[in-house]
Amino acid sequence: MARLDGKVTLITGASSGIGQATAVHFASLGSWLALNGRRKDALDQVAHLCHDKGVPKDKVLVVVGDVCKEDDVVAIVNETLKHFGKIDILVNSAGILKNGTTENTPLSVYDEIMNVNLRSIFHMMQLAIPHLKKTKGTIVNVSSVTGLRAFPNVVGYNISKAGLDQLTRTAALELAADGVRVNAVNPGVIVTEVHKRGGMTEAQYTQFLEHCKTTHAMGRVGTTE
């Protein structure tokens, strides 16, 4: 992967999982980082990992905020611009998973999933795009295989990721003339905390990962690295 020296990357969901791994990897490539999440203690730990990769302390900004709160999203972008003066890369990694079927998913749960996995990303992109046009930057949206193929008992997650894929395609077409690239990544099952946060017990998660060995072409699930 090309070096990212001096490029400013804003990463949501940076306190754990794919967002954390992205932050640490980008740090190893020389990127300056704005790390967003809701837990300052976890973000501070990620910032420390980024420093260990050689990024100076003043080039890693911790921005605590909830991407579902409009004022927080505005503050996240503004604090990044105040500290660094620009945004080159936006990585939308914040996301949640909740179990539920079309028949039994409460509307409150559906709304929660859509707010985190789609609406917040739409808002973040809207605010970042004017600045990405100036830097000829790029947007990376962390989607899922569920955006391409439906799976039972995660209907809200399926819909949110399919919507995110379509948002990505639309924005890519709209922004190409401005030199802004917009892409999504659609990983299969990755070992993170998202499934257990979504309601799986430890035993259920272990069984799920074992079953996934039979559904993934390489015979294994993925890791954040």
pLDDT tens, position by position, 175-216 = 999 999 999 998 866 666 666 566 667 776 666 566 656 666
Give alpha helix (H) positions in the chain.
17-28, 40-52, 70-84, 107-114, 120-135, 155-175, 194-197, 202-212
C-alpha span between 180 and 57 (Å, rounded): 28
Report the share of the chain in percent with pLDDT over 90: 80
Per the annotation, the verdict on 110 as an active-site residue is no
User: Please, are residues 80 and 32 in contact by the beta-carbon 8 Å criterion?
Assistant: no
Please report the pLDDT score of residue 207 as a whole number: 64
Please report the pLDDT score of residue 151 as a whole number: 87
Please report the pLDDT score of residue 220 as a whole number: 67
CATH number belonging to domain 8-187:
3.40.50.720
Average pLDDT over residues 43-72: 98
**DSSP-assigned beta bridge partners for residue 36:** 63
* pLDDT score of 65 more than 70: yes
Please report the pLDDT score of residue 217 as a whole number: 61
**Between vectors from CA 85 to CA 44 and to CA 66, what angle results, nearest 5°?**
45
Please report the pLDDT score of residue 202 as a whole number: 74
Least confident span in 35-49, 69-83, 141-155: 141-155
Instruction: Give residue-wise pLDDT tens across range 33-52.
Output: 999 999 999 999 999 999 99
- Which structure tokens are listed for 98? 């909740």
Instruction: Give residue-wise pLDDT tens across range 88-119.
Output: 999 999 999 999 999 999 999 999 999 999 99
Please report the pLDDT score of residue 179 as a whole number: 99
CATH 3.40.50.720, the chain: domain bounds? 8-187
Task: Exactly one of 157, 165, 167, 189 is catalytic; name it.
Answer: 157
2 — pLDDT class (breaks 50, 70, 90)? confident
Q: To the nearest whole number, what is the mean pLDDT of the chain?
A: 92
